[in-house]
Amino acid sequence: MIAKRYQVVVHGGLLVTGQRISRQDMAIQNGKIVALETEITVAADREIDAKGKYVLPGIIDAHTHPLYVDDAESLAISAAYGGVTTLIYYVYADHGKQVAPTIRDFVENTAAHSVLDFGVHAGLFDPAHQAEEIPDVIDLGVTSFKLFMAYARLGRLCDDYQLLRVFDIIARAGGMGMVHAESGLATDYLIDKFHAEGRDPAEFFERMRPGVLEAEAVNRAAAIAQVAGCPLYIPHVSSHEAVEVVACAKRRGQRIFGETCPQYLALTNEEINHQGPLAKIGPPLRYPEDQHALWRGLSRGLIDTIGSDHAPKEKGRNDDFLAAAYGSPQVETMLSVMYETGINQGHLTLPRLVQVMCENPARIFGLYPKKGAFLIGSDADLIIFDPGERHQIAQETQHSRASYTLYEGFEVIGKPVLSMQRGRVLLEEDELHALPRQGEFVCTRSGTLHPRDLLDGKGK
């Protein structure tokens, strides 16, 4: 039955999916997409003219940390200004803490304030005492579990015994493992070695955490996950060596997924010369050859997603580099920076960008086709993106609580000018219209997908 009147119709835009770009109108009713046609003539309460602009699915950022400078409330606001409509947060259970109550408290508190829909990954800082909770956590709708192969001095390093034990429990419970993949004890030795030799930690930072030790950890995690039969997701892949390891595991049929981040695609370790500790992140910024491998991996389907790793902490340009915290603000700038460096500079097609920032995160974490899709019945999460709007990134225009951006003065062409979440306007003409409590918690279903079930990485 054809509706006599729709709530919203988006007219004349170029709709972008992972398969194609096509000129279509979209009708929205009760928060869902209800019609996709060449021309919709039925009247609507709100008619949006998208002529000359792209209509993209809302960005799904599956890598955010709401526990440093930005909490879940401010992080979601910053994300909304950048075209993100769904977040997946890392929620960590510290030593001596139970995982399930930690997640229940976070979900309850965040739902009371969030302007965006959100899911959760569970982070285990004390896996020896927390792993048995995994089935209970999955019952809460949280199905991905992160462990650390680095940061022993922070008490986070998970040894191989616990890594296999946790992966075994995850596999039997029906979830997915995730690891921060750096060979932690080896990198700690290199930090001590260079420090004892009096080397400048800023100058030698990348050599303290080299790409080959990232690749070693990815390979070890993949081998242990294969033994356990556990699906594996590798966040923030940064080096060409790590891309090769992920590609090899995919070729042998393993259920493994790779993510990279805008900072690794747009910046190199030269940034440390200009921004000092502000550009200290883990894994570190690397070299042009690593960028080339990451772009190639994205375009060929070897790397599956882009996530922001938004984790800004208090630090200054002149702080002691070795003592400075890891992390940077990324969520608000992610789409514009990726459009400029990926599309305008010719590294990716626009359908492929939609795959790695919208469709693939939704598929991998079990949110598809509710999220990340332009299909009848999908949530009406969308961005109207103006590909011709030129602007300059500056910290003073950002909405994170961070006091800096790594992209200060970065010139980009292309900007989200309107976004909607479940049919309600989030952002329009640089003004946020979303209200606290508008965001909803979404349950994930990670671990059900095989990499071969993702789109081929080419786009049309």
Query: How many angstroms separate the CA atoms of 82 and 236, rounded?
Result: 20
Q: What is the pLDDT of residues 29-86, one digit of tens each?
A: 999 999 999 999 999 999 999 999 999 999 999 999 999 999 999 999 999 999 999 9
Query: Taking all residues of the chain, what is their mean pLDDT, rounded to a whole number?
Result: 96
Domain with CATH 2.30.40.10 in the chain: 6-55+376-432
Q: What is the pLDDT of residues 331-341, one digit of tens each?
A: 999 999 999 99
- Domain 58-365, CATH among 1.10.10.10, 3.30.200.20, 3.20.20.140, 3.50.50.100: 3.20.20.140
pLDDT digits 0-9 by tens, 431-450: 999 989 999 999 999 999 99
- Name the nearest CA neighbour of 233 among 364, 66, 371: 364
> Using CA atoms, how far apart are residues 13 and 248, in angstroms rounded to an integer?
40
Confidence of residue 456 (pLDDT cuts 50, 70, 90): low
* Location of structure tokens 């921060």: 180
Question: pLDDT tens-digit profile of 79-129?
Answer: 999 999 999 999 999 999 999 999 999 999 999 999 999 999 999 999 999
| Cis peptide upstream of residue 262 (ω within 30 degrees of 0) | no
What's the predicted TM-score (pTM) here? 0.97
Confidence of residue 2 (pLDDT cuts 50, 70, 90): low
Q: What proportion of the chain, given as a percentage, has pLDDT over 70?
A: 98
pLDDT for position 3: 60
CATH 3.20.20.140 boundaries in the chain? 58-365
Q: How confident is the model at residue 460 (pLDDT cuts 50, 70, 90)?
A: very low
Question: How far is 160 from 181, CA to CA, in rounded Å?
Answer: 12
pLDDT band at 348 (very low <50, low <70, confident <90, very high): very high
Q: Which residue, chain included where needed, has tokens 């420090």?
A: 195
- CATH superfamily name and code, 6-55+376-432: Urease, subunit C, domain 1 (2.30.40.10)
265-303: pLDDT as tens digits: 999 999 999 999 999 999 999 999 999 999 999 999 999
Q: What is the pLDDT of residue 459?
A: 44
Q: What whole-number distance in Å separates Cα of residue 337 and Cα of residue 412? A: 7
